[in-house]
Each structure stands twice: as structure tokens, then as C-alpha cells.
């Protein structure tokens, strides 16, 4: 098997670390790996296949000779992604910078793998909450069409990066000890609290996170008629996002048919047995690569409605796993 | 001002303790207070207006001469509520035992105060999540009608009682120390986790908590055409429930009109200023008696839709405050 030159940008963050693990676990054909981050992290060591690698500062020259550049997200994407593509790398970018650009495919391999083929140097990885939602929507869409989705999210702190994980841990300890721990990453205390505000506020008083779930879903499905309305909320959970998803299909689709479609869908695992209290939870799906679906119910308020409870590790399928799957498609389709 | 003989049943639990505080804060006209609980708690002391009262074991004779019996909920309601009513008390019951009985009014004072008038000895206090939702729905219903509500809840552990509060605290400490703390109150670990399962599973794989939000809402509004579909989830928050509420009205109702109706509605406080990051959160509304509404948005997926983020202290407005408000109506309407 041939190997490829791969560069991971933002390697010291929560998503960057997960990218290394997923490349290793999936036996991605790497024959040369460069690991980059901001100046602040340059010189640090990271581990890949038991080997210590030294983190370089990201700069244009690191992309020379690179086949695939995996960007973990953040400011580096705006600064270096186009440059990396110009220098011949296929960029798979986890930031929101290029997702809605018309010349950039936005790909979830279980939904729109073929979009990889028309890339012009950059392929965007969707928002974590969007990925987690569209994977189980796909089989329902194919079978019955989707008119409208009402979604409420329960998002883990690790979606806001490594510093946010530390903040939840340290702040929780402080609160339990009766001490003060002012928020730094989040706008308010997240320990034992909920914050209905992720990313910045935009049009119509929706947050950017909420608009991502609308616009990215339409782009991934190539279907502007899918209506999505979202409320996104940060919860005091370390890892794995959950979503209460209400789906209105166009054609009728009974709950048993929906269940069997979901059980057979790629990337989906159904955990749904009320009698034995089986349903997905953040704690039990963390570290897994699939999207877990439970609480599958016929909507009692609507003929063509379904309720789902969807949970997935947003650092895995919501970010690193999806990015590496895209890289695998790039190789499989020969579109490096 | 005349005073009344009041009995609080289940006084040592989370709701019972709150009932004493709310009676005191609202200057409820008590001239004789009996405090009861199970045999296990009999003999304990509780505080009311600075006075120590000894908890009695609940038994039929304690209700002799009682004007108003406030039941905190639990098994005592099934065992003693009808008996208390027979002995002449007006029972205000926080359990789910009588809520859907045709001869029992189910009352939220901001929505259907007049229903107090036809009581036959028992008035039921609705489920906490239902109360918190219907208070802000009321002004929207009056102005534009309600076709359908899609709600996802984020429910604090104190909804499961005092033992659940201890479990979250002790389990969180254990998890942070790397120690094991097997769940006792909840079916799974709640620390840094979510459990999409509240109360028992029933028809169509909905939980009883989810059905309560459907059936109780219809009974409170006297309108079976209001469609409600719910997903109810326990979150690692000590106190105050939150709900992402999507409302489809029958007539169009713009977001500005909705905002002004909510701001003027009894029992509702609007906290909604994205520019200054103002929205309700469990931490900031705990201990308050009102229902707090923020993130008020025109539904981007539907002409006649609105999204709301609703938070309230479920031990207050979701239980004790609502019950004491009902008792005040009983006196006001002279229907003791």
C-alpha cells in the first residue's frame, strides 16, 4: 500500500490530538507526518504510533510536499488553508471558514461522499452538531424526504477546546469546595449550569452555531427545501454531544420502518430498548466513531413525525473521524 | 386577617422544605401549622418563621380540623389525599396521582385560575415541566392559538428529590477523584452525563414525564387540539429546569408581538438581550418564583413558529410556589 505525506495543523488541541489517534486506529497510510501548531505550542512533543514527534510552528513552507493537510480548526485555517492548497496539499478543514463557500465541498461520508470529487484543494468538515444530526437523517431522507427538523442540542464542553475541558473540571471542584472560579472560556459558570449560547449571535437572534445546523444541512443534502430550526445549548458534560431531534418527513414513514432503516444505515448504531433502559448517553458513546440513536418514537403530535435522541462523540465523528474518513475518500476516489 | 389551619405532608423532602419557605415568604395566613412525613422522618424538627416544629407521622387523624393540606407528592398522596378531603381539608396535591382525574381540577394560577372553583376536595398541582412550559404559552395561546409544541427538556436532579441532589454532589466529587460512585437514585451516572429517561416508560415508548407534558397541557388549557410532543432529559444541574420550546401558533404572531406579550404576562420575566449575552440560566433563576423566558426567536423554518428558551426553579414555580398560589386562590374565591 502506498503511503502519503500528511500534515496535522493544530495538533495540540482537543481535535488535533484526536486526529492523531484516529489516523493511527484506522491505519491511515501515512509515510510522512508533520505536526504543526501555533508558535506557543511549537517544540512540544506529541505521540503517534508510539513515536515522539516535535510540533512545528505552522508556516507556508511546511505544506511543501504534503499530500493531505488536516486542519483541526481555529485561526490557522483562515491563515494557511488556501496557501496549503496552493502548494499542492488537499486540505481537509475543520473550521467554519470555508464550509459555505460555493467552491468548497462540505462532506459527511455517509451522506454525500461524491462531493469529495469536485474539490479544488479544500474540503470542509461540517460543524460537529450538524454531522451528528445528518448521519441519522440520511436514511430517513432517502426513504421519505424531510420537510422540517426541530432540534435542541446538549453540547459538551470539549466542543470549545482543551481549555474548556479544564475549565469545567477546575470550576466544578471549586464550586463543590464553596470556592469561586470565574469563567474564562465560557461567558458564565458552566459547572452545574446550562448556557443557551454557542458561538456568536447573528441574524434573527440565532447563534452562528444554530445557523450552521440550518445552512450546512441544506448544503450537505443539496436540498434547500429541508427546513431546520435549532436551539443550541452548552451542558456540563466533558465529551459527546446529544440532540433531541424532531423530524417531519414528506412521505409517511412508520416508526418500525424508521428503526430498521436507522439500524441498517452506515455509521449509525441504534441503542433503543426502553424495557431494559437502553438509550445512548454521552458517557457510554465517548471514544466511539459512530452516531448513536435511541428513543425512536412516532411523533404523537404529527402523522409524519418522528422523535430521535442522537448522541455521538463530537471530537470523533463530529470532527476527527469525519475528517479522516474524508481523507480516505480522497485516496479511494484518486482525487489527490 | 383570618388565619387557616394548614398541614404540609412530606415536609422533609425537597418540595416540602420549599413549601414551608414559600408559605413564609408569601405571608400565607397560617394560624395553625401541622407538618407531617413518613414514619422514618417523624420526630425530626423543621423550621417555620423561626420556630421549630416537630414532624408527625402522616395518619388520617392529622387532617381533622385542617383547612388546607399541601401534599408535597409521593406515596402519601395515594394513601392519604382522599382521606384528608373527606375529613374536610382542601387538598392541594403535587403528585401525579389525581392530575388527570375528571373530578380534580389541574391548576396553574396564571392559566386557569377559575378551575379552582369546581374542586371537590382535591386540586392537583401539575408536573413541574408542564407548569414551566404553560405559563409562557398562555399569552401566546390567548393571542394566536397554539397548534403544536415541540419541547426538549433539560431537567435538574432536584426534580428527583433530596437524595438525587446528594447523589449528584457525591458522585461528581467521586468522579473528579477518580473514584467509583454507583448510581442509586438514577439508573446511570448523572455526573457529567445526560439521561434521556425521566419516570417510567409508557405507550409508544414515551416516558410518563413526556406524556404528562402532553395530557396535562391539554387539560390545563381545556383544549385537546393543542398538540405537544416532548423529549425529557435529566442533566447534571442541581436545580431549575430548562426547556427548548418550539411553538406553532394558529394565527401569525410576529416575534416582537410575542416578546411584548411575554413581557406583560403574569408570572413571566423576559431576559433576552443577545447583545449583552442576557438569557435565563438555571444558576441565575434558582430561588425565584417566576418563569424566565429568553432566546425569543421567529422560527426560521415556519411562518407561524417561535422558538423560546424557558427556565424556572422547578421546586418553586414548578411545585411549591404554584401550590401555595392555588391555596391563595382557594381563599380568594372562598371555596374552602
Taking only the tens place, the pLDDT of each residue in B281-326 is: 999 999 999 999 999 999 999 999 999 999 999 999 999 999 999 9
Give the residue from chain A lying closest to B192, CA to CA: A237
Q: How confident is the model at residue B87 (pLDDT cuts 50, 70, 90)?
A: very high
* Residue B235 CB partners (closer than 8 Å, separation 6+): A154, A194, A235, A236, B154, B155, B156, B194, B242
Q: How far is CA A123 from the centre of its chain?
A: 14
- Cβ <8 Å between B173 and A169: no
Mean pLDDT score, B24-39: 97
pLDDT digits (tens, 9 = 90+) for B240-278: 999 999 999 999 999 999 999 999 999 999 999 999 999
pLDDT at residue B51 tops 80:
yes
- Confidence (pLDDT) at B18: 96
CA distances from B154 to A207, B132, B211, B218 (A): 19, 12, 16, 22
**3-state secondary structure (DSSP) of residue B68:** strand
CA distances to A164, A172, B83, B169 from B174, rounded to whole Å, are: 21, 12, 44, 9
Cell numbers of B28, please?
400565607
- Cβ atoms A125, A68 nearer than 8 A: no
Identify the three-state secondary structure at position A306.
strand
Torsion of CA A171, A176, A180, A184, to 10 degrees: 10
The mean pLDDT value of chain B amounts to: 97
Which burial class, exposed, middle or buried, applies to A89 when counting CB atoms under 10 A from its CB (0-12, 13-18, 19+)? buried
pLDDT at B2: 74
Chain B contact set for A298 (CB, 8 A): 204
Whole-number Å distance between alpha carbons of B133 and B112: 14
Of A231, A238, A299, the CB nearest to B192: A238
Q: Residue holding cell 460555493? A: A102
Which residues does chain A have within 8 Å of residue B152's beta carbon, measured at their own beta carbons? 152, 231, 244
Please tell me the distance from the alpha carbon of residue B56 to that of residue B95, in angstroms, as a whole number.
20
Residue B250's CB is within 10 A of a number of other CB atoms, namely 14
Å from A237 to nearest chain B CA? 4
Contact yes or no for B231 and A279 at CB 8 A: no
DSSP label at residue A318: I
Active site residue: B36, B222, B241, B335, which one?
B241
Query: Rounded to an integer, what distance in angstroms lies between the CA atom of residue A274 and that of residue A225?
Result: 34
Dihedral class, residue B222 (left if φ above 0, else alpha if ψ from -120 to 50, else beta): left
Q: Which residues contact A27 (CB under 8 A, 6 or more apart)?
A: none
Question: Looking at chain A from residue 94 to 153, which residues have their Cβ under 8 Å from any Cβ of chain B?
Answer: 148-150, 152
Three-class SS state of B285: helix
Determine the Cα–Cα distance for residues B120 and B103; give it in Å rounded to an integer. Answer: 7
Question: Which 8-state DSSP code applies to residue A314?
Answer: T
Rounded to a whole number, what is the distance in Å from the CA of A192 to chain B's nearest CA? 4
Q: Is B241 a catalytic residue?
A: yes
Residue B1 has pLDDT above 60, yes or no: no
Q: What is the pTM of this model?
A: 0.97
Does the distance separating the beta carbons of B214 and A300 come in below 8 Å? yes
Structure confidence at residue A240 (pLDDT): 98
CB pairs under 8 A between A and B: 171
Distance between CA atoms of A141 and B24, rounded to whole angstroms?
56
What is the per-residue pLDDT for A1?
57
Task: Find chain A residues with C-beta within 8 A of B228's C-beta.
Answer: 301
Closest Cβ opposite residue B244 in set A176, A233, A307: A233
Which residue is associated with the grid cell 479544564? A166
Question: In the predicted model, is pLDDT for residue B106 greater than 80?
Answer: yes
Please give, rounded to a whole number of angstroms, the shortest distance from the CA of B151 to a CA of chain A.
8
Please confirm, yes or no, whether B222 is among the known catalytic residues.
Answer: no
Three-state SS for A92? strand
The closest of B134, B195, B204, B122 to B160, measured between CA atoms, is: B195
**H/E element holding A154?**
strand A146-154
Question: To the nearest whole percent, how much of chain B has pLDDT over 90?
Answer: 99
Q: Which residues of A touch B149 (CB under 8 A)?
A: 301
Question: What is the distance between the alpha carbons of residues B191 and B184, in angstroms, rounded to a whole number?
Answer: 13
Return the pLDDT at A2.
74
Which residues touch B96 (CB under 8 Å, ≥6 apart)?
Answer: B73, B127, B208, B212
Residue pLDDT tens, chain A, 336 long: 579 999 999 999 999 999 999 999 999 999 999 999 999 999 999 999 999 999 999 999 999 999 999 999 989 999 999 999 999 999 999 999 999 999 999 999 999 999 999 999 999 999 999 999 999 999 999 999 999 999 999 999 999 988 999 999 999 999 999 999 999 999 999 999 999 999 999 999 999 999 999 999 999 999 999 999 999 999 999 999 999 999 999 999 999 999 999 999 999 999 999 999 999 999 999 999 999 999 999 999 999 999 999 999 999 999 999 999 999 999 999 999
Q: Which residue of B has its CA nearest to A204?
A: B297
Amino acid at each position: 500500500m502506498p503511503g502519503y505525506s500528511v500534515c496535522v495543523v493544530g495538533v495540540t488541541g482537543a481535535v488535533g490530538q484526536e486526529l492523531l489517534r484516529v489516523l493511527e486506529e484506522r491505519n491511515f497510510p501515512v509515510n510522512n507526518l508533520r505536526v504543526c501548531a501555533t508558535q506557543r505550542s511549537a517544540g512540544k512533543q506529541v505521540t503517534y504510533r508510539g513515536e515522539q514527534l516535535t510540533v512545528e510552528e505552522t508556516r507556508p513552507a511546511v505544506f511543501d510536499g504534503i499530500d493531505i493537510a488536516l486542519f483541526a480548526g481555529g485561526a490557522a485555517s483562515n491563515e494557511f488553508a488556501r496557501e496549503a492548497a496552493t502548494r499542492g496539499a488537499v486540505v481537509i478543514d475543520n473550521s467554519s471558514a470555508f464550509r459555505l463557500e460555493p467552491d468548497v465541498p462540505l462532506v459527511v461520508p455517509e451522506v454525500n461522499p461524491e462531493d469529495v470529487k469536485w474539490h479544488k484543494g479544500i474540503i470542509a468538515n461540517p460543524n460537529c452538531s450538524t454531522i451528528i444530526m445528518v448521519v441519522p437523517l440520511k436514511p430517513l431522507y432517502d426513504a421519505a424526504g424531510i420537510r422540517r427538523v426541530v432540534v435542541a442540542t446538549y453540547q459538551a464542553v470539549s466542543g470549545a477546546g482543551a481549555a474548556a475541558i479544564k475549565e469545567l473540571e477546575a470550576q466544578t471542584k471549586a464550586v463543590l469546595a464553596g470556592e469561586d472560579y470565574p469563567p474564562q472560556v465560557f461567558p458564565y459558570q458552566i459547572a452545574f449550569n446550562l448556557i443557551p449560547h454557542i458561538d456568536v449571535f447573528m441574524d434573527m437572534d440565532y447563534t452562528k452555531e444554530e445557523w450552521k445546523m440550518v445552512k450546512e444541512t441544506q448544503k450537505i443534502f443539496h436540498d434547500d427545501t429541508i427546513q431546520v430550526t435549532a436551539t443550541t445549548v452548552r451542558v456540563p458534560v466533558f465529551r459527546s454531544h446529544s440532540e433531541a431531534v424532531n423530524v417531519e418527513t414528506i412521505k409517511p414513514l412508520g416508526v418500525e420502518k424508521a428503526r430498521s432503516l436507522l439500524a441498517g444505515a452506515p455509521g449509525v448504531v441504534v441503542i433503543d430498548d426502553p424495557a431494559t433502559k437502553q438509550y445512548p448517553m454521552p458517557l457510554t458513546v465517548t471514544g466511539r466513531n459512530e452516531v448513536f440513536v435511541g428513543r425512536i418514537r412516532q411523533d404523537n403530535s404529527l402523522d409524519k413525525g418522528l422523535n430521535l435522541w442522537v448522541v455521538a462523540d463530537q471530537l470523533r465523528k463530529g470532527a476527527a473521524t469525519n475528517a479522516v474518513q474524508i481523507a480516505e475518500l480522497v485516496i479511494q476516489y484518486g482525487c489527490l
